[in-house]
Amino acid sequence: MRAAILAGGYGKRLRPLTEKVPKPLLEVAGKPILRWQIDWLYRHGVREFVLCIGYLREKIMQYMESLSDLKIEVYYSVETEPLGTGGAIKRAEEFLRSEDVFFVLNGDVITNLNPTLLLDRIDDAVGALALVQLRSPYGVVETDGEGRITAFREKPLLKNYWINAGVYCFRPEIFDYLPERGDIERTSFLTLSEHRKLASVKFMDVYWRSVDTYKDLETVSRELPEVVW
């Protein structure tokens, strides 16, 4: 089974770190984000990877050539200009169209959720999305019926709110909905959701983080050694 990793962005919020190193190669807890993703997908049976690359792509290619401990096939879909997440997947069609189903992953996500569960839910839908619980950006104060404070909770997961985890399983029909340029979240997903063509799996009690800022780098580096894979 193949998985496409969207790894072509500039990583602007992580500058100056990303001025010479592409975001997927930034290290957290001792190894690059991209390696965490490949190891995770490898554990779930993925052996063929399509890397959608653009910015500092030569460095990503060099890094992949240095990997000798995994028996994997790697294909490259190259953007000469930013195409957005939808456009990047569309550009990789030649590597994915022949697959019955395939995974797509945002290039800044680190998680231990089981992506194969998406395969069981796609059924007659065009795609299935992994959903995780929203984490509050602030600490939460709990009170009793009289307004007395009973507890402080530091940035808890909000049990009733779910967000797109950036982990997808698609059928090749997705290419009929993708733009040549633009983000899949703002184009294809809106159309597909209107026609109830997107399935989902809600993941609880999993590790999930998106690495977007310096603070994320620090947080993930601190948390990963404790994660059960």
Alpha-helix runs per DSSP H in the chain: 33-43, 57-65, 84-91, 93-96, 188-194, 214-223
- The answer to whether the beta carbons of residues 50 and 103 sit under 8 Å apart is no
H/E element, 202: strand 198-203
Kindly state the tokens that stand for 206.
């999993």
Report the distance separating Cα 160 and Cα 139, nearest Å.
17
- The answer to whether the beta carbons of residues 4 and 87 sit under 8 Å apart is no
CA dihedral angle for residue 174, residue 175, residue 179, residue 185, rounded to 10 degrees: 20
Active site residue 155: yes
From the list 12, 23, 90, 155, the catalytic residue is 155
- The answer to whether the beta carbons of residues 45 and 70 sit under 8 Å apart is no
Residues 6+ apart with CB under 8 A from 119: 101, 128, 169
According to DSSP, residue 55 is labeled T
Catalytic residue positions, numbered: 155
